[in-house]
Chains A and B, each alone.
Chain A
Amino acid sequence: MHFLRRNLAFFRLAVLTNLEYRVNFFTDAILQPFCTSLIELTLWFAVFASATSTTIGGFTREYYLAYALWTAFVARIATSWMYEFKMIEEIDSGSINGLLVRPMSFFEYYLSQLLGYKFITTVISLLIPLAMITFFQLPTIYSRIPLALLLITYYLVLVHTIGFIVSSMAFHLNRIYSLTGTKNLALWLVSGELVPVDLLPEPYKTWVLDLPFCNGVYIPVAYITGRVGTSMVWHGFMTTTVGLAVFSIIAVFMWRWGLRKYVGTGA
């Protein structure tokens, strides 16, 4: 009970903190993905304008427009930069001391905040693709949205665990920020944000689908837009669970190793 109460407090803290600077929040949650989706939509218009067939990979232009629209917003929800940077900064600067002495774990403190931040981002930002999809009558199965969001939430736990591993490296290496960027770019490459994974040639398609990293963007968006069925979502839950198990072991090891080395001389 106490565990839930304190994590709910962290969750609320993130919601309030992020809503404090509303223009920043608006840019982050709405303006940026909106601009990205417009650029992607232009690309798909151009692709279909020069294509000799009315379908690509078995889907019409409308499917790709819906995919591009959802992807820009969902990808924004499924990535974690800010809290990973904060975790690294806490370790790097020594201000982690203040958190280590509290009756909670560093992992849960930031996980609950990440989920709080993503919750408010989801609630507000997804209104845009929903409105646009409805207005332009693009393919979307609305009843599938809750399960897709559940998969994204589960995937966020995995993303946070990976972020936790990266930030634990800050115990050993002083400048680790660029690793966050590299890691996020690598995840971006296989997430399905650039192109739908089903367009990849074999065996790359199978490899990417068997990795857990397309569970944040490709599988939820493909599921919502009707490119894949429910079985693919369950596959997504399974690969995320396997990924979570593997990365959790690494995370525990890295954290313990880091703490053994850490000398709390910071602020």
Chain B
Amino acid sequence: MSLTGLQKYSRLYSSFFKASFIADMEYRVNFLTRIFGDVFWYLAQIVMFEVLYLHTDKIGTWNVHQTRVFLGLLFVVDAIYMVIFSDNLDRLTERVRKGEMDLLLTKPVDSQFMLSCQRVNTALLGNFTIASSWLIYSLFKLPHLEPLKLLWLIVLIPTGVISLYSIRFMFGATAIIFTRSENLQFMWYQVYKLGMRPDHIYFPWLKFLLLTLFPVAIVASVPARAVLDPTNYWLFAWSIAWTAVILWLSHRFWNFCLKYYSSASS
């Protein structure tokens, strides 16, 4: 993409952000309850592991301090994804069915960008703050933290977000082919659930699938390994390269799906 193109998309995204913020502030109770909703989700994940660690020293290879860091990274990646993409991708099926895509496809902008980024969930910026606070707290509590390893997160957190986005987008894009693909969207959540647990608790074949076919282990397990385990350059290189590939694949898949698109509007 050229510099002019990049500037155009940046300006466009800035406008999306402003419009979304104004829309979010219109319904303030909704704004607040969305933040609280996710706080309960964070609490649920934390409580589950904290209770389990009251009865065992380790789950898989990690102790309670290491699992807290894993959860912190999961929350941060999830919060970024929720702010930028979730509202857009959750509505994708409905937009296809209601024929809202027609207008969007005629715009002189990449349709994948428009569909994925048009609505920014500004309420969840509060969640990002909470998630980051938990991550910082868990890193401080870690007995043997190697600060240099944190530099990996500069690359691996965006990698996790992009990987999460790409898989979710491909699940969402199937709506164009099947029109009613709610069931596939349900299945997406089940796949994502696998990424919400440290990958070393899974059987080797499942772990392999979660790094390749459904790479949800890249979301939080790989960044957590970068901070907690001995540096595994191959794993990180694979995660970054594979994320780039699935992002490209998501675009290719989108263009493929568009061939099946038939207008639903009157």
Is A47 a contact partner of B56 (Cβ separation < 8 A)? yes
Question: For residue A49, which residues in chain B have a CB less than 8 angstroms away from its CB?
Answer: 60
**Chain B binder among A1-9, A12-20, A139-147, A170-178:** A170-178
Please measure, in the bound complex, the distance between the C-alpha atom of A88 and the C-alpha atom of B37, giving whole angstroms.
18
Among B33, B47, B182, B206, the residue within 8 A (CB) of A182 is B33
Among B27, B186, B200, B202, the residue within 8 A (CB) of A175 is B27
Please measure, in the bound complex, the distance between the C-alpha atom of A179 and the C-alpha atom of B206, giving whole angstroms.
36
Given contacts A195-B51, A199-B55, contact A42 B44 (CB under 8 A): no
B12-71 contacts to A, CB under 8 A, are 27, 29-30, 33-34, 36-37, 40-41, 43-44, 47-48, 51-52, 54-61
Main secondary structure of the interface of B (DSSP, over half): helix
Nearest Cβ distance between residue B223 and chain A, in whole angstroms?
20
Is A46 a contact partner of B27 (Cβ separation < 8 A)? no
Is B55 a contact partner of A178 (Cβ separation < 8 A)? no
Is A51 a contact partner of B51 (Cβ separation < 8 A)? no
**Chain B binder among A185-193, A214-222, A246-254:** A185-193
Q: How many residues of A contact B (CB 8 A)?
A: 38
The answer, yes or no, to whether A201 is at the interface (CB within 8 Å) is yes
The answer, yes or no, to whether B193 is at the interface (CB within 8 Å) is yes
The answer, yes or no, to whether B233 is at the interface (CB within 8 Å) is no
The answer, yes or no, to whether B153 is at the interface (CB within 8 Å) is no
Nearest Cβ distance between residue A250 and chain B, in whole angstroms?
18
The answer, yes or no, to whether A181 is at the interface (CB within 8 Å) is yes
Question: For residue A23, which residues in chain B have a CB less than 8 angstroms away from its CB?
Answer: 183
The answer, yes or no, to whether B234 is at the interface (CB within 8 Å) is no
Q: How many residues of B contact A (CB 8 A)?
A: 36
The answer, yes or no, to whether A50 is at the interface (CB within 8 Å) is yes
The answer, yes or no, to whether B119 is at the interface (CB within 8 Å) is no
Question: For residue B183, which residues in chain A have a CB less than 8 angstroms away from its CB?
Answer: 23-24, 27, 31
Contact mask B172-206 → A, CB, 8 Å, 1/0?
A: 00000000001100110010011001001111001
Among B29, B47, B54, B202, the residue within 8 A (CB) of A194 is B47
Is A42 a contact partner of B59 (Cβ separation < 8 A)? no
Is B190 a contact partner of A36 (Cβ separation < 8 A)? yes
Is B29 a contact partner of A173 (Cβ separation < 8 A)? yes
Question: For residue B55, which residues in chain A have a CB less than 8 angstroms away from its CB?
Answer: 51, 56-57, 199
Given contacts A42-B202, A50-B59, contact A177 B47 (CB under 8 A): no
Question: For residue A130, which residues in chain B have a CB less than 8 angstroms away from its CB?
Answer: none
Is B59 a contact partner of A35 (Cβ separation < 8 A)? no
Given contacts A50-B59, A57-B55, contact A179 B203 (CB under 8 A): no
Besides the known contacts A50-B56, A182-B36, 11 further A-B residue pairs in the complex with CB atoms under 8 A apart: A32-B190, A43-B197, A46-B201, A51-B55, A56-B55, A173-B27, A179-B30, A182-B37, A186-B40, A188-B40, A199-B55
Can you list 17 A-B pairs, Cβ within 8 angstroms, ordered by A? A23-B183, A27-B182, A28-B186, A35-B190, A36-B190, A39-B194, A47-B52, A50-B58, A50-B60, A178-B33, A178-B34, A181-B37, A185-B41, A189-B43, A194-B51, A195-B52, A200-B51
Give chain A's interface residues, CB within 8 Å of chain B: 23-24, 27-28, 31-32, 35-36, 39, 42-43, 45-47, 49-52, 56-57, 173-179, 181-182, 185-186, 188-189, 194-195, 199-201
Q: In the A-B complex, list the 4 residue pairs whose CB atoms are closest, starting with the nearest.
A: A46-B201, A185-B40, A182-B37, A175-B30
